[in-house]
A and B are shown apart, each in its own frame.
Chain A
Amino acid sequence: MALTEVSSNKSFGGFQKVFEHTSMQLGCKMKFGIYLPPKAEQQKCPILYWLSGLTCTEQNFVTKAGAQKLASEFGIIVVAPDTSPRGCAVPGEDENWDLGTGAGFYVDATQEPWSKHYRMYSYITAESVSAFAPICNPVQCPWGHKAFQNYLGADQDAWKLYDATCLVLSYEGPPLDILVDQGSADSFLTAGQLLPENFTNACSKKQLPVVLRMQEGYDHSYFFIASFIEDHIKHHAKFLLA
């Protein structure tokens, strides 16, 4: 699988690059951002994946989050994939900002016309977990209903496989340490799209350690992310560098 380098900029002593490759899962060309810290020139480094939200491409995190500084210091490779397949001419994929292009929802769709290309779940593999203003309980919120109806059809058991709150309740695996930051002035929070309290309740039931930090006055934007990204990278570094 050939990788083409799209761009390269020196950043905090390392390199912020963007590559393009053809994805087997998605059946199209996909870009991803990758930050290579200085340490990567001499040795292998742990990898931290960043998954962007609705409407984003691989650019948003790379440009706005300010993660490069700490990634450089800790010697962590940070990868930011795109948020959906692109240019596959799936009917209807550009009609909504919260369904289709830029809105892959990290599922493997089972329904037409999505199932051929919308396989973001398989495209991505996540190792450790932290989140900013996550959609914690999609089966209970408008965004989730819309996406899952279209991608996964009416089978609500299929939906639960893609709902963090539901998955926590049946989680079996190595211990996880979850960090969630959430802005209190986030309009999507007040609109009932995010539901972090459902998630933390589920974590308590399962005794899965989770830290939910309500950040007073912060909204949903990359300004919020940039304000706290260092804490997240430090969180991951604890596990990746151990």
Chain B
Amino acid sequence: MALTEVSSNKSFGGFQKVFEHTSMQLGCKMKFGIYLPPKAEQQKCPILYWLSGLTCTEQNFVTKAGAQKLASEFGIIVVAPDTSPRGCAVPGEDENWDLGTGAGFYVDATQEPWSKHYRMYSYITAELPTVLQKSFPVLPDKQSIMGHSMGGHGALVCCLRNPGLYKSVSAFAPICNPVQCPWGHKAFQNYLGADQDAWKIYLDERRMAIIQSWKKRQEELTRKKTEHGVDSPSLHTLQRGYTGPNIQGGGEGARMAKIGGGVAMQCDGMCGCISEAYSTSRQILSGISGTPAASNSISFRAKYMGQPAPP
């Protein structure tokens, strides 16, 4: 996947660059800003993502925020992606400033005419990190995320949905509860359809609590495994979060599957994490849907694989 450098300006001893590449997720050419501190010439650096808000491109943060000075001092690579796919000729995408172009809302749309191209969630959490690791001196395990407004919502959602994927998160005036506000209603109705449970996966107070308890149990499990000397690669896979529309992973470890507007995790039981995965996914789905925890193992898998999330 070729990266084309669009611009490069020396800034606080490092370089503020803009690159363009073809995104598989979005099906179009996408630009992103990337600040490379002086330290990046000698060693790999941690990466900080900035997600911009409505109407922005990759330029706004790069030009106006004044982040380069401290990024230079701390030796942090700062990446500012665009806020939606561009030039895909999606009907209606230019009619509103808060829906469509410049208003991707960091979701993977499930509804027509958006679902083919409006996949900013996967672009940010899965595709872009892979692209960056191939071409820049980034430390793969050291990434954090922040954003403004719609981007603040994006940063919080990406972080909360992918425990362990980001070391930290921060936001400026984020849209904290889109399912309860006009912007969120408009975007989610169009991108995710009428299924309000599909909406909630993109941020929910209950989910935040669920993620917290997931982390606690994960720590407990890791501790147990260390005591018993069992390695747990599957936990790493779980931590990676959603990786695409199809079942990912294979053999040992957890798998992620996209089901309608929801996400379920399943484990093939080859590692010790099986109870963790099931109880976690039960909790997540029940947190969204309010259904009591499903029974574990085969029946759970059969029920949720390839079928819409429970109402």
Q: Which residues of A contact B (CB under 8 A)?
A: 63-64, 66, 69, 183, 185, 215, 217-219, 221-224, 226-227
Lowest 6 A-B CB distances belong to which pairs?
A223-B9, A223-B11, A217-B10, A66-B66, A218-B10, A227-B12
B68 proximity list for chain A (CB < 8 A): 223, 226-227
17 A-B Cβ contacts within 8 A? A63-B63, A63-B64, A64-B63, A66-B69, A69-B66, A183-B10, A185-B10, A218-B10, A219-B9, A223-B10, A223-B11, A223-B68, A226-B12, A226-B68, A226-B69, A227-B10, A227-B11
Min distance, Cβ A214 to any Cβ of chain B, angstroms: 13
Q: Could you mark each residue 62-105 of chain B with 1 if its beta carbon is under 8 Å from any beta carbon of chain A, else 0? A: 01101011000000000000000000000000000000000000
Min distance, Cβ B14 to any Cβ of chain A, angstroms: 10
Min distance, Cβ A77 to any Cβ of chain B, angstroms: 20
Q: Which of A63, A185, A215, A223 contacts B16 (CB 8 A)?
A: A223
Q: Complex Cα distance A63/B62, Å?
A: 11
Q: Is the Cβ of B64 less than 8 Å from the Cβ of A224?
A: no
Smallest Cβ-Cβ distance to A63: which chain B residue? B64
Q: Complex Cα distance A221/B16, Å?
A: 11
Q: Complex Cα distance A227/B15, Å?
A: 11
Q: Complex Cα distance A152/B244, Å?
A: 66
Of the four ranges (under 10, 10 to 19, 20 to 34, 35 or more), the interface on chain B belongs to: 10 to 19
Q: Is the Cβ of A224 less than 8 Å from the Cβ of B10?
A: yes
Min distance, Cβ B17 to any Cβ of chain A, angstroms: 11
Q: Could you mark each residue 1-41 of chain B with 1 if its beta carbon is under 8 Å from any beta carbon of chain A, else 0? A: 00000000111110010000000000000000000000000
Smallest Cβ-Cβ distance to B60: which chain A residue? A63
Q: Which of A64, A219, A222 contacts B10 (CB 8 A)?
A: A219
Min distance, Cβ B52 to any Cβ of chain A, angstroms: 15
Number of A-B pairs whose CB atoms are under 8 Å? 36
Q: Is the Cβ of A226 less than 8 Å from the Cβ of B10?
A: no
Min distance, Cβ A13 to any Cβ of chain B, angstroms: 15
A222 proximity list for chain B (CB < 8 A): 63
B13 proximity list for chain A (CB < 8 A): 227
A185 proximity list for chain B (CB < 8 A): 10
Q: Complex Cα distance A87/B205, Å?
A: 53
Min distance, Cβ B94 to any Cβ of chain A, angstroms: 25
Q: Is the Cβ of B66 less than 8 Å from the Cβ of A221?
A: no
Min distance, Cβ A224 to any Cβ of chain B, angstroms: 7
A69 proximity list for chain B (CB < 8 A): 66
Smallest Cβ-Cβ distance to A68: which chain B residue? B66
Smallest Cβ-Cβ distance to B8: which chain A residue? A219
B10 proximity list for chain A (CB < 8 A): 183, 185, 215, 217-219, 223-224, 227
Min distance, Cβ A228 to any Cβ of chain B, angstroms: 9
Smallest Cβ-Cβ distance to A215: which chain B residue? B10
Q: Complex Cα distance A86/B64, Å?
A: 25
A183 proximity list for chain B (CB < 8 A): 10
Chain A CB within 10 A, most for which of B10, B64, B68, B69: B10
B69 proximity list for chain A (CB < 8 A): 66, 226-227
Min distance, Cβ A184 to any Cβ of chain B, angstroms: 9
Smallest Cβ-Cβ distance to B63: which chain A residue? A64
Q: Complex Cα distance A66/B13, Å?
A: 16
Chain B CB within 10 A, most for which of A66, A183, A224, A226: A226
Q: Complex Cα distance A185/B7, Å?
A: 14
Q: Complex Cα distance A137/B13, Å?
A: 28
A227 proximity list for chain B (CB < 8 A): 10-13, 68-69
Beyond A219-B10, A221-B9, 18 additional contacts (C-beta under 8 Å) are A63-B63, A63-B64, A64-B63, A66-B66, A69-B66, A183-B10, A185-B10, A218-B9, A219-B9, A222-B63, A223-B16, A223-B68, A224-B9, A224-B10, A227-B10, A227-B11, A227-B12, A227-B13
B66 proximity list for chain A (CB < 8 A): 66, 69, 226
Q: Complex Cα distance A227/B71, Å?
A: 12
A64 proximity list for chain B (CB < 8 A): 63-64
Q: Complex Cα distance A224/B9, Å?
A: 8
Min distance, Cβ A88 to any Cβ of chain B, angstroms: 29
Q: Complex Cα distance A63/B65, Å?
A: 9
Q: Complex Cα distance A227/B9, Å?
A: 11
A221 proximity list for chain B (CB < 8 A): 9
